[in-house]
Amino acid sequence: MILTRKHLSRRTALKGLGVTVALPLLDSMIPVQTLFAQTAAGRAASRTRLVCIEQVHGAAGCSPFGATHYLWAPKDTGANYDLSPSSLLPLEPFRKHLTIVSNTDARMAEAMAPAEVGGDHFRSSAVMYTHSHPKLTEGSDVHVGTSLDQFYVQRFGKDTAIPSMQLSIEPVDQSGGCAYGYACVYTDTISWATPTEPLPMVRDPRMVFELLFGAGGTEQQRAERRATDKSILDLLTEQMSSLMKSVSASDRRRLDQYSTNIREVEQRIQRIEARNTSGETRELPGAPAGVPDSFEEHVKLMFDLQVLAFASDTTRVFSFKFGRDGSGRVYPASGVPTGFHNASHHGVAEKTIREFAAINQSHVALLPYFLEKLQSTTEGDASLLDKTLIFYGSPMANANVHNHRNCPLLIMGGGNGVHQGGTHVRAADDTPMANVMLTMMHRLGLDDIKTFGDSTGEFSFATA
């Protein structure tokens, strides 16, 4: 190749009829004899990706029995902790990318007036990433706080095609009241653009795919293309072929892998839709055709879509809600036949507490899939795992009694150097979880934010 200063823009995309496929970072996007960090591509690559995940309704390890048997937080702090008794055991291969923070509180989810008693289910999700107390209302005058992900979007997410995306696994209904005087939107989203502006969450992988790749100009065009089993990439064959001829061998390999990943995700969605429209009885009657009946399949598909979005820099921010507090869903992979909500109200019996711990572990076991995908996807000189910061936690602690003290919280990924894992930190009693989030917000570049929710100051990750 002849060395010139001509190069592809980082925002180069392949476009067809109603289709836009952004590209991953290529060597051809870096001008020769120019420092990478000083290029548009380099500046984009330096931005941390952020994922905020809610595991609803606490953890068995936050009950008195679970805490003393280390079913969530390990016995030892620091680096030499043992995960074997814990629901976190599946994360053992990624412990160097993992920080366990135990004994922090989500007190803003507690009842603060007699009229609020009993409404924990309908406050918790709204508190998870805002740490503000929701206003008691069933009307449109909802009020809580701006969420962590949206503070980041306001500062660093405006130069991507999609500032952020909000995903969910369970159905959501953001209209009207739910119970105990609370609007449904409080329990149906974890992402708030402003204290009065909840962001809708997308449950259907097909919808996520088409938001990312703009597949089909109209619903009729999309339906016609799906009926032929064609890929969106089939609409871009000539453009892809032309691009392949103009880039280096390493870029061709990267493009081939990227297009293979897009096609594989699209084919999985097509197979799910075919299965769900075949007339066979569904485990999730009424769910959109693109929603898998399998929880594990659904979560993995959503994780794969996030990796594609990060690789193409289509968006850098996701919030992801794993469920709903009151869900009766059964998780066969956990080996527990009891529905989620009933299992969470386990009383004080060891057997039922351990069953809820098994459900917690089956959820945590999906995180390594995501971490592996991020780790195997490179951008410039680092993996996406090195460039991503992931929060995973719950605003509930001991679900059996609906308390919000000693809540589960994990931090994963490298975050472009802002996070060093491999440790368990136990907070002092009465420490707000908001302190941890405020500290990480500062590390992410939001230094001017002095308080967040009910934060009382910075959090120290030092261990004795």
pLDDT value of position 231: 82
Residue 428 exposure: Cα atoms within 13 Å on the Cβ side:
8
Closest CA to 51 of 327, 396, 292, 370: 370
Domains of the chain: 1-46+210-290 (no CATH), 54-203+312-464 (3.40.720)
Q: Is the pTM of this model over 0.85?
A: yes
pLDDT value of position 224: 66
pLDDT value of position 390: 98
Cα–Cα distance measured from residue 164 to residue 393, given in angstroms and rounded to the nearest whole number: 20
Q: Which residues 6+ apart lie within 8 Å of 353 measured at CB?
A: 60, 63, 65, 66, 71, 346, 347
pLDDT value of position 232: 85
Closest CA to 52 of 366, 437, 421: 437
Tens digits of residue pLDDT in 379-436: 988 999 999 999 999 999 999 999 999 999 999 999 999 999 999 999 999 999 999 9
Closest CA to 193 of 319, 108, 57, 48: 319
Cα–Cα distance measured from residue 3 to residue 449, given in angstroms and rounded to the nearest whole number: 45
DSSP 78: B
Q: Spell out, as residue ranges, where the chain has pLDDT lower than 50.
A: 1-5
DSSP 309: H
Q: Which residues 6+ apart lie within 8 Å of 186 measured at CB?
A: 122, 123, 125, 126, 134, 142, 144, 178, 198
pLDDT value of position 454: 98
Cα–Cα distance measured from residue 393 to residue 148, given in angstroms and rounded to the nearest whole number: 13
pLDDT value of position 37: 55
DSSP 404: -
Cα–Cα distance measured from residue 131 to residue 125, given in angstroms and rounded to the nearest whole number: 10
pLDDT value of position 283: 93
